[in-house]
Amino acid sequence: MCNGKRPADIQAGGAGGGGAAGGAGGGAAVAPAVPKPVEPAKPKIVDGVLCQICFDEYPKADVFDADCKHTFCKGCWKDYLNDKVKDGKTIKIRCPDPKCKREVTEQVLCFIGWHRF
């Protein structure tokens, strides 16, 4: 029920005795609002690089290109190469970018820890 008092008057037991310290008014004191916890911000990757397949951002050390500047993360490289092998393509595998003609180098294979047998 509205008693005409501002929240600050009720909390402080202000004029009219409506608060806990005011006495005769009989109104209950309102507890102060507890602030909601703020979730910490996600850390930003400084000098991060965007994988052009999954569109996640990675530190420079976790992405690689086939000397063509099309950067992909290790996970996407592995998936791409595994798919090529499953499709029977084991030589002259090209960059995952469909418009690029650059062949995947041994450096890419070493970078992702994937080896042809």
Digit-coded pLDDT (tens) for 54-112: 999 999 888 888 788 899 998 999 999 889 888 888 788 899 999 999 988 888 888 87
**Token pair of 64 as six digits:** 């690689």
For the entire predicted model, the pTM comes to 0.55
What is the residue whose two structure tokens read 């000098």? 47
- The one-letter amino acid code at 15 reads A
At 84 the three-state DSSP class reads: helix
Per residue in 20-55, pLDDT tens? 444 455 556 676 777 776 655 544 445 788 999 999
Question: Parallel, antiparallel, or unpaired for β 49-50 and 57-58?
Answer: antiparallel
Q: Could you tell me if 76 and 66 are in contact, meaning their C-beta atoms sit under 8 angstroms apart?
A: no
What is the residue whose two structure tokens read 């608060």? 19
* Domains of the chain, start order: 1-34 (no CATH), 49-112 (3.30.40.10)
Task: Say what the pLDDT of residue 65 is.
Answer: 83
Strands (E), the chain: 49-50, 57-58, 63-64, 72-73
Distances (CA, A) of 93 to 5, 15, 73, 105, 111: 77, 83, 17, 9, 16
Task: Say what the pLDDT of residue 32 is.
Answer: 73
